[in-house]
Amino acid sequence: MKKQKQNRPSFLYAVIIFLALVILALGALTLHSLRDLIDLRSKVSGLQTTVQELSDASANLVKQAQELAGLNDQLSNVASDTDATGASDYTNQDSQEEGTLSPSHASSFTDSTDESLDNLLSQLKPLLPQDNGTWSVYVCNLMKNTEGTIDDQQMQAASLIKLYVMGAVMQEIQNGNLEMNDTTKHLLDEMITVSDNSATNELVRYLNKDHDHKKGMKKVNAFIKAQGFEYTHEYNGLEDTSLWYDTDTKNTTSAKDCGRLLERIYRGEFVSHLASRQMEELLLNQQVTYKIPSTIPSESRVANKTGETSDCENDAAIVYTPKGDYILCIMSCEVSSKNSAVDSLQEMSSLIYSYFMNRDTSKLSRQVEATAKETD
């Protein structure tokens, strides 16, 4: 019994020592946690300072951006005034750069009205064949940004529909849905420069992931509608009868729709500036040149696309001349004589070129008089 009583104090001492050690450990842990908390609060304070500095810097950048925007507006106004003042300095130049999209200021025209163009079209109208199909003409003076038409209407597009397929393909490339690889470039070149129908049908298939022509054609028509070409629609594929979905209807467009498409290409506004340059280059490399380009002298360049069927002769062209650029689109359908239609188209091209180069309507007037005598 005495031995057990002697062991109790030792046990108590051990418990006390153990508890003391636990308390010391907890104190050390608490101290460490306090240090961490202090460090954390210090870091938070630092972050708050950094955020405030970033906020101040951001506000300063916004202020600077606003100031730069104001300066940019001032510079734009100055540039506009300079362009307006300097434009007249260019009107007497006799030459312009070839193949540029920006309208040349080199123009022999001095008036700013549409009267000269109206006069041209009024004299040209009697020259349209009265006994050889239906005709439509569109003319745009690119230097004066004026346009006029003779009997603009929806007509059979023939291969002019390829202009719109080209635009739809370029739009898909622009959107990142189609790659401009060697195959695509080759098909575009074949479709435009030699008017290959198979290449056109294949490009239409490329417009959807299923490689389905009918679905691709819907994309072409959606593009046409979005661009505002009211008389243009693709109903069928070209040449391949398995792609004719509506045999009673032909693909359609109008001289004005084609002309306005070409104007957007000329001004770099069709799909994008880069796409416009690429499309312009394709048209400048045109191999089918027996219509509008055939009467244009070598001093000028022509970017054109033709369209023909068994009873249609169409051509749409940008004509770059030393004295000002213009667009001419001529469509003829239901013609009884294709050779005669081509002759008439070439004659109109020659007369209009002479007018834009010389501002001389005497040749046109003489032709009108001769036509009137033949009619009598």
Can you name the residues that pair with 252 across neighbouring β-strands? 156, 233
Q: Residue 40: its pLDDT value, please?
A: 62
**Alpha-carbon span 124 to 132, nearest angstrom:** 16
Task: Give pTM, 2 decimals.
Answer: 0.70
Cβ-contact 124, 137 below 8 angstroms: yes
DSSP string, 194-243: S--HHHHHHHHHHTSTT--HHHHHHHHHHHHHHHT-TT-B--S-SS-GGG
Cβ-contact 148, 117 below 8 angstroms: yes
C-alpha distances in Å from residue 66, one per residue of 52, 61, 78 = 21, 9, 18
Cβ-contact 306, 288 below 8 angstroms: yes
User: Closest Cα partner for 323 from 87, 101, 89, 105?
Assistant: 105
Instruction: Give 307-360 pLDDT, tens digit per residue.
Output: 999 999 999 999 999 999 999 999 999 999 999 999 999 999 999 999 998 865
Helix (H) or strand (E) holding 36: helix 2-90
Length of the chain equals: 376
User: Which residues of the chain carry a pLDDT beneath 50?
Assistant: 1-3, 71, 74-112
What fold, for 115-375?
A: Beta-lactamase (3.40.710)
Instruction: Give 158-179 pLDDT, tens digit per residue.
Output: 999 999 999 999 999 999 999 9
Q: Residue 136: its pLDDT value, please?
A: 97
What single-letter amino acid sits at 48? Q
Q: Domain ranges for the chain, please list them.
A: 1-80, 115-375
**Alpha-carbon span 253 to 172, nearest angstrom:** 21
DSSP string, 98-145: TT-SSPP--------SSHHHHHHHHHHGGGS-SSSSEEEEEEEETTTT
Cβ-contact 164, 261 below 8 angstroms: yes
User: Closest Cα partner for 140 from 154, 155, 165, 120?
Assistant: 120
**Alpha-carbon span 330 to 135, nearest angstrom:** 7
